[in-house]
Structure 1
């Protein structure tokens, strides 16, 4: 009879990195307003980039999902001030497979939109916005895109 041997457990791990070139920006996460129920009156859902939380007003009701701000990583080639620019005009989100729309407005940056960065040091920031939900907004998945620019003077 052979003596019992201890099993050797195996565990997989994932290795990740963000590779940036100086004077660049990459997206880490998209802006997600979560799952919303639309009531008989219009409302809003606000994603605060400073706290990375969502709040709702009026007829918009948060009912789940994982609402969060968009996140970005940038890197400067030299020590300097960078300007983070987000949309000033409304961005349209259109229902997939339909023509119904909502708008995202009041885009905001976590912290200062003008900040000092060190040479060859990555910096991260989040972007939030306000989603304007119409009264009795038709159900579906709504998608829109917006630009974030980092200006390296």
Structure 2
């Protein structure tokens, strides 16, 4: 039953809307909150800043894909996969080197399986892509950022739910 389906509920709602108007006006002291963050890096290290998120995806009667480009975070879909919103974005990482050197960034070459939370259904993530080059010159005591995108492979009539999994990113320092 809707909260507005009876006259009693409608009257209670009206009373709630009128009551604040009868209160005396008081001076307000505006305030605002801000979040402060810092990433502590030890030389020869890498940390995750954001997970790979494909957003909300609808599954049609045919299989399809969702692709996230790590250069732009642009998200596209093909076939029976429909983009339904959310905030899709690539995974983000930051690393640091203790001395000037060349680092090698390694992303998965094989598909990774995502499993539905509370179930056994799966999907795969494949074709991982790296923002920029996999070999980079890193200056001494300077942090470097990079992002990783991929392709989500959605099955025909994929069971709805939240699917999760993990993948490894490795940074090799000389």
Q: In the alignment, which of 16, 25, 47 is matched to residue 46 of structure 2? A: 25
SS at the partner of 2:146? strand
Structure 1 unmatched runs, 5+:
1-5
User: Which residue of structure 1 aligns with residue 154 of structure 2?
Assistant: 133
Taking the aligned partners of 2:145 and 2:113, their CA distance within structure 1 comes to: 26
The yes-or-no answer on 1:48 pairing with 2:69 is yes
Structure with the higher fraction of residues in strand conformation: 1
Number of aligned residue pairs: 148
- Supply the RMSD in Å over aligned alpha carbons: 1.2
| Unpaired segments ≥5 residues, structure 2 | 1-26
TM-score computed with the length of structure 2 as normaliser = 0.82
Q: Distance in 1 between matches of 2:29 and 2:102?
A: 53
Specify the SS of the correspondent of 2:92: strand
Matched, 1:106 2:149: no
> Which one scores higher on RCO, CA 8 angstroms, separation ≥ 6?
1
Q: Deviations over 1:79-101 (max 9, x none)?
A: 11100001111100000011000
Partner of 1:116: 137
**Alpha-carbon separation, structure 2, partners of 1:92 and 1:7:** 53
CA distance in 1, matches of 2:130, 2:38: 24
What secondary structure sits across from 2:54 in the alignment?
A: coil
How far does residue 16 in structure 1 lie from its aligned partner after superposition?
A: 1.2
Distance 1:8 1:134 in 2: 54
Residue in 1 aligned with 2:110?
Answer: 89
Once the 2 structures are TM-superposed, how far is the Cα of residue 52 of structure 1 from its aligned partner? 1.1
SS of aligned partner of 1:28: strand
